[in-house]
Amino acid sequence: MAFPRQRMRRLRQHESLRRLVRETNLTPDDFIYPLFVTVGDNQKTPINSMPGQFRWSIDLLVKEATEAYQLGVSAVMLFGIPDRKDARGSSAYDSKGIVQQAVRALKKQVPDLLVITDVCIDEYTDHGHCGVVKDGRILNDETLECLRLMARTHADAGVDMVAPSDMMDGRVGAIRDELDQAGFPDMPIMSYAAKYASNLYAPFREAAGSSPSFGDRRSYQMDPANAREAIREVELDVEEGADIVMVKPALPYLDVIAQTRSLVSIPIAAYQVSGEYSMIKAAGQQGWIDESQVMMETLLSIKRAGADLILTYFAKDAAQVLNSSRT
């Protein structure tokens, strides 16, 4: 008989023993910290729907990124909030744009920090869509030119990695060609490969001022009902030259992360998006959950599903918890 010779609780009796047999472990190196950068000086504007998150001017962004780096968070992702918008999002690929300036400042003052930039024009367009619009339609191929220019100006500014999030077909290949031709053949691309049309992005859109002024993004972001399609998106991006592929959001799509992990050998990123963050923060503030414990449990589940990298607004808080547990 298997019982009582096989007792699963034997290895759960002591914390040291539980650590020895633990299958999945988090470290601060797993995290990428998303940050919003805006114009001005000494600006730290709270984001109402994302408690604890802010829009940072470049001077304070550098301080925040430095603090994260000192905690062991070795990478940040930048999202720009420009001072002007137009139909093509031209400030996104202005060599003196807000993100380009932020990249230069970060690489000058925190040179060992890995700086990644979001490549998408939605924060820069006056209509809020991720592509060029004509007669109410989002134009795919016309948008690629904007993305090529945006990625190149980020590379010129000194960024370490670009991350296209627009979900236009062919954009990874277009950006790879542009970077190669511009003398950046070693610049890695982290593709938002399986980005779902999720309602969990709402707090981000408030933070970035990027809500569409008409319609929605379902003609280019993925249907939440589809998993096999996500694998096709991932495989296409790998073929086009992606070095890392991302699944976004994370928690509702752990199955997609796991399927992707079983099929590709390159690193996988997962984005714990603004809505996931805000729900945990709100429940924690109400006393309905232990925010710190739930934060760590959700991050662990994302890594357990197969993610190598986790973009999370909890990056600093989680790093502090992990660091304190080691002392």
3-state secondary structure the chain: CCCCCCCHHHHHCCHHHHHHCCCCCCCHHHEEEEEEEECCCCCEEECCCCCCCEEEEHHHHHHHHHHHHHCCCCEEEEEEECCCCECCCHHHHCCCCHHHHHHHHHHHHCCCCEEEEEECCHHHECCCCCCEEECCEEEHHHHHHHHHHHHHHHHHHCCCEEEECCCCCCHHHHHHHHHHHCCCCCCCEEEEEEEECCHHHHHHHHHHCCCCCCCCCCCCCECCCCCHHHHHHHHHHHHHCCCEEEEECCHHHHHHHHHHHHHCCCCEEEEECHHHHHHHHHHHHCCCCCHHHHHHHHHHHHHHHCCCEEEECCHHHHHHHHHHHHC
For residue 184, the tally of other CB atoms under 10 A from its CB is 18
Alpha carbon 29 to its chain centroid, in Å, reads 15
Query: What is the residue type of 313?
Result: Y
44 in active site: no
Peptide bond before 4: cis, by omega within 30 degrees of 0? Answer: yes
Catalytic residue chosen out of the listed positions 85, 195, 281, 316:
195
**Tokens, residue 233:** 């998106």
Peptide bond before 249: cis, by omega within 30 degrees of 0? Answer: yes
107 in active site: no
Catalytic residue chosen out of the listed positions 63, 96, 107, 248:
248
- Asked if residues 249 and 203 have their Cβ atoms less than 8 Å apart, the reply is no
**Tokens, residue 200:** 């969990």
Instruction: Identify which of 73, 92, 76, 79 has the alpha carbon closest to the alpha carbon of residue 37.
Output: 79
Active site members: 195, 248
